[in-house]
């Protein structure tokens, strides 16, 4: 079953999510919404990219649509998410990449247009659940309607932190991300957005700019055992793409640097394959451009003061890697959701009471003291009215 995806906001992440989806056979983009650009301009920005190069495929402009590699993608220009006809377009999952609707309440407006699930391409500004592929994505359950893909930096840091914490235990740590320029920065000195971050208003191309980030603290939300143990900051640098995380941490268990490298290498070949990468080469930032991994551990860049105190370095393409993870998360959600159903069944003990059952794997489950069986599907049950059950 192919995940049918809609994209709201055709900016940097929206367009790169589109490109990533076109390379993934498990997902199909069926619609795009952006009220701030017409279709010919969408075609131009999708075709040409200053960092990632030309689009590898064909793009044509049609009436209210883009035709990409022969497939028709509907285009809308609605300002209000609830007015976007996702359902009619066949978009079950929506990538919310405007940077505006970053709370569960705001993002859930997409559901009114027929979307079934929403993925926010940013850390949420409320308690909307965050999922990082390879770290806590298995905790996703189909009752969740709106989720966040966290930030690009959290997607880089969390896999590395999980490996270290699982193998050696992290007592505490500080993170710095040396982060490429983003669209929120200014080309010349001026007032920053909101007027509070004075440094953030300085010329992006001429400065290294210290900044705040919630990426390290967010790791504590996706790895609860690290809650309160990590914090960090950012340095914005005048490069167009690719960033790097420096995690300096104190380990609970003694570990040589070689043992740390071995642990990361093992993860890259196991559960984190395709998510955590590793390089033994003398790389620089441009070498990591267009790398799909969330995090690429740089063996030669890290150092250890002793067996308990280490500095670890990991690269990430903050645009391309992150966009691929959002697509992966949408596919993962669709697979989980596809195994869930709402059905009617009867208690095993022969009682004639109908129960409503939803979200179950095949088999049998105890609820709470009686087993419920349905030909192929079983799960938790709640009594429902006779008329709703059709009794």
Catalytic site positions: 152
Distance CA 16, CA 18 (A): 5
* Residues ≥6 apart with Cβ < 8 Å to 52: 16, 19, 241, 289, 290, 319, 320
**Is 153 annotated to bind ligand?**
yes
Asked if 12 and 319 touch (Cβ cutoff 8 Å), the reply is: yes
Distance CA 297, CA 279 (A): 6
The backbone torsions φ and ψ at residue 61, rounded to the nearest 5 degrees and listed phi first, read -95, 130
**Is 199 annotated to bind ligand?**
no
Q: Which two tokens stand for residue 193?
A: 């957005």
Distance CA 8, CA 17 (A): 11
**Is 282 annotated to bind ligand?**
no
DSSP assignment, residue 105? H
- Cα–Cα distances in angstroms (integers) from residue 227 to residues 104, 160, 267, 373, in the given order: 22, 15, 22, 40
**Is 151 annotated to bind ligand?**
yes
Q: Any idea how long the chain is?
A: 391
DSSP assignment, residue 376? S
**Is 58 annotated to bind ligand?**
no
**Is 108 annotated to bind ligand?**
no
**Is 152 annotated to bind ligand?**
yes
**Is 236 annotated to bind ligand?**
yes
Distance CA 386, CA 391 (A): 5
Distance CA 381, CA 20 (A): 39
**Is 79 annotated to bind ligand?**
yes
DSSP assignment, residue 226? G
Q: Which residues are annotated as a binding site for NAD(+)?
A: 12-13, 34, 79, 121, 318
Binding residues for D-glyceraldehyde 3-phosphate: 151-153, 182, 213-214, 236
Residues annotated in a binding site? 12-13, 34, 79, 121, 151-153, 182, 213-214, 236, 318
């Amino acid at each position: 079953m192919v995940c049918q995806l809609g994209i709201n906001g055709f900016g940097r992440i929206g367009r790169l999510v589109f490109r990533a989806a076109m390379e993934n056979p498990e997902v199909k983009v069926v619609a795009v919404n952006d009220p701030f650009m017409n279709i010919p301009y969408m075609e131009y920005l999708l075709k040409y990219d200053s960092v990632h190069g030309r689009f590898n495929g064909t793009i044509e402009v049609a009436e209210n649509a883009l035709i990409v590699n022969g497939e028709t993608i509907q285009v809308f220009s609605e300002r209000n998410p609830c007015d976007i006809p996702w359902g009619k377009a066949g978009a079950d999952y929506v990538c919310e990449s405007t940077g505006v609707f970053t709370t569960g309440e705001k993002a859930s407006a997409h559901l009114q247009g027929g979307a079934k699930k929403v993925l926010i391409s940013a850390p949420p500004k409320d308690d909307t659940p965050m999922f990082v592929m390879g770290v806590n994505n298995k905790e996703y359950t189909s009752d969740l309607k709106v989720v966040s893909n966290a930030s690009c930096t959290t997607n880089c840091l969390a896999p590395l932190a999980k490996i270290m914490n699982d193998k050696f235990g992290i007592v505490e740590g500080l993170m710095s991300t040396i982060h490429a320029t983003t669209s929120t920065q200014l080309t010349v000195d001026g007032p920053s957005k909101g007027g509070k971050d004075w440094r953030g208003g300085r010329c992006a191309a001429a400065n290294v700019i210290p900044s705040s980030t919630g990426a390290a603290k967010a790791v504590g939300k996706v790895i609860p055992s690290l809650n309160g143990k990590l914090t960090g900051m950012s340095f914005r640098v005048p490069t167009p793409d690719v960033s790097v995380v420096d995690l300096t941490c104190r380990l609970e268990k003694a570990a040589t640097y070689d043992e740390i490298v071995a642990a990361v290498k093992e993860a890259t070949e196991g559960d984190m394959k395709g998510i955590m990468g590793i390089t033994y080469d003398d790389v620089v930032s441009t070498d990591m451009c267009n790398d799909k991994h969330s995090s690429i551990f740089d063996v030669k860049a890290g150092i250890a003061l002793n067996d308990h105190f280490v500095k670890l370095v990991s690269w990430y393409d903050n645009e391309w890697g992150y966009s691929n993870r959002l697509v992966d998360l949408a596919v993962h959600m669709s697979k989980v959701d596809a195994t869930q159903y709402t059905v009617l069944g009867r208690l095993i003990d022969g009682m004639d009471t109908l129960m409503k059952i939803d979200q179950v794997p095949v088999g049998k489950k105890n609820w709470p003291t009686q087993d419920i069986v349905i030909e192929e599907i079983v799960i938790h049950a709640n009594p429902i009215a006779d008329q709703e059950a059709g009794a």
